[in-house]
Structure 1
Amino acid sequence: MSLYNAYLALSGAVDADITRDERMSHRTSYRIGGPAAMLAVCHTISALQRVIEVLTSQDVDWVVVGKGSNLLVADEGFDGCVIVLGRDFSHVEASSEAATVCAGAAVPLSKVVQTAAKASLTGLEFACGIPGTLGGAISMDAGTRREWIGHRVESLVVLRPGTGLMRRLGSEVEWGYRWCGLGPSDIVLEATLALAHGERAAIDAQMEALFSRRRSTQPMGKPSCGSVFRNPAGAKGAARLVEDCGLKGYAVGGAQVSKVHANFIVNNGSATAADVLAVMRTMHDRVREATGVDLQPEVKFLGSAS
Structure 2
Amino acid sequence: MAARHATPLQALLVDERFDGDIYPHEPMARHTTYRIGGPARFFVRVGSVGALTRLIAVCEEEGVPWVAVGRGSNLLVADEGYPGVVVSLGRDFRTLRVDEEAGRFYAGAGVMLSAVVQEAFRRSLAGLEFAVGTPGTVGGAIAMNAGSRDEWIGSRVVSVTTLAPGRGLVRRAGDEVAWGYRSSSLPADEVVVECELAAEKADPFYIRGKMEANLAKRKKTQPMSEPSCGSVFRNPEGGSAAALIEGLGLKGAQVGGAQVSQAHANFIVNTGEATARDVRDLIALIQGKVEEAHGVKLAPEVRFLGFE
Aligned equivalents of 2:6, 2:151: Cα separation in 1: 42
> Conserved in 2, the CA contact under 8 Å of 1:32 and 1:72?
yes
Aligned equivalents of 1:7, 1:207: Cα separation in 2: 47
* Structure 2 gap segments, 5+ residues each: none
1:58 maps onto 2:65 in alignment: no
- In structure 2, the residue matched to 1:193 is 197
Task: Please tell me the residue identity of whatever aligns with 2:49.
Answer: I
Superposed CA RMSD in Å reads 1.3
Q: TM-score, normalised by structure 1?
A: 0.96
Q: TM-score, normalised by structure 2?
A: 0.96
CA drift at 1:162: 0.4
Give secondary structure in 2 for the equivalent of 1:168.
strand
- In structure 1, the residue matched to 2:266 is 263
* Structure 1 gap segments, 5+ residues each: none
1:164 maps onto 2:168 in alignment: yes
Aligned equivalents of 2:76, 2:17: Cα separation in 1: 31
> Conserved in 2, the CA contact under 8 Å of 1:3 and 1:80?
no
Q: Deviations over 1:136-194 (max 9, x none)?
A: 00000010111110011001111111001121100111110011111121111011111
Equivalent position to 1:238, from 237, 241, 255: 241
Aligned equivalents of 2:98, 2:50: Cα separation in 1: 26
Q: Deviations over 1:16-75 (max 9, x none)?
A: 111200000000000000000011110000010011111122221100000000000000
- In structure 2, the residue matched to 1:252 is 255
- In structure 2, the residue matched to 1:6 is 9
- In structure 2, the residue matched to 1:106 is 110
- Structure 1 segments of 4+ aligned residues over 6 angstroms from their partners: none
1:72 maps onto 2:95 in alignment: no
Task: Please tell me the residue identity of whatever aligns with 2:69.
Answer: V
Equivalent position to 1:222, from 226, 230, 253: 226
> Conserved in 1, the CA contact under 8 Å of 2:97 and 2:107?
yes
Aligned equivalents of 2:161, 2:178: Cα separation in 1: 16
CA drift at 1:4: 5.6
**CA shift in 2, pair 1:3/1:169, >3 Å:** farther
Aligned equivalents of 1:240, 1:111: Cα separation in 2: 32
Aligned equivalents of 2:191, 2:284: Cα separation in 1: 31
- In structure 1, the residue matched to 2:29 is 25
Percent sequence identity over aligned pairs: 52
Aligned equivalents of 2:203, 2:43: Cα separation in 1: 43
> Conserved in 1, the CA contact under 8 Å of 2:147 and 2:153?
yes
Report matched runs for 1:257-296 at 5 Å.
257-296=260-299
Task: Please tell me the residue identity of whatever aligns with 2:273.
Answer: S
Aligned equivalents of 1:112, 1:3: Cα separation in 2: 42
